Structures are given as C-alpha cells and as structure tokens.
Amino acid sequence: MNDGWISITDRLPGNGERVLCWVPEHLVYLPGKSGATELREVVILRFLQDHFTHNPSKTGRTTSPHLWAGEGSSNQFFEAVTHWRPLPPAPVT
C-alpha cells in the first residue's frame, strides 16, 4: 500500500494521535435490528501506546500492549490495523 499510507511495521503514530486507519475486511453493523453490515476499511482511530500495560484487557487478550481507540464501540486491537496515515488538514474557509 502506498500513496501516503504508513505500515505499522515501519512506524507508529504518536501516543494519543488521531489518524486514518486501514482495517482490512472491517464490517460495521448498521443501526437497527436487521443485522445489516457495511464494509468500512478506512476509519478514524486514536493510537494508545502501551494501553494494556496499564489497563489489562477485559477479554484476556495479550497479543499486543497497544490499542486503537475508536468512537463509540469501534475500538480495534492493535493487529487489526495494517496501515495508517495522518488526518488531512482542516479546509481553509
């Protein structure tokens, strides 16, 4: 992947930084009770370095100390994200 995308194996964002993330095959459940889903592989997440060092996982998962925090219930375990890129600047008004 290129065009500004950075592999998590090459570099990580700063702790607490909000970035665009690539989450392959990420299905999101749509509102309502139909169970309908939508593929959303690009999401905004906040990188939390060593999050599980200070906050043990409630699921018992121990694969990485890092976490990608989303908005609402869209948190992602570290290994779910393959690439990231900085958010674009705000539009000039």
Mind listing the pLDDT tens digit for each residue in 26-77?
Answer: 888 888 888 899 998 999 999 988 877 777 677 776 678 888 888 766 888 8
Q: Identify the pLDDT of residue 69.
A: 86
Token pair 């900085």 in the structure block, residue: 86
List the structure tokens of 45.
């997440």
Q: Identify the pLDDT of residue 75.
A: 83
- Return d(Cα 23, Cα 42) in angstroms, integer: 6
What are phi and psi for residue 24, nearest 5 degrees?
-55, 135
Residue 37 forms beta bridges with which residues? 29
Domain ranges for the chain, please list them.
6-86
Is residue 86 classed as helix, strand or coil in its secondary structure?
Answer: strand
- Return d(Cα 80, Cα 90) in angstroms, integer: 27
State the pTM of this model: 0.80
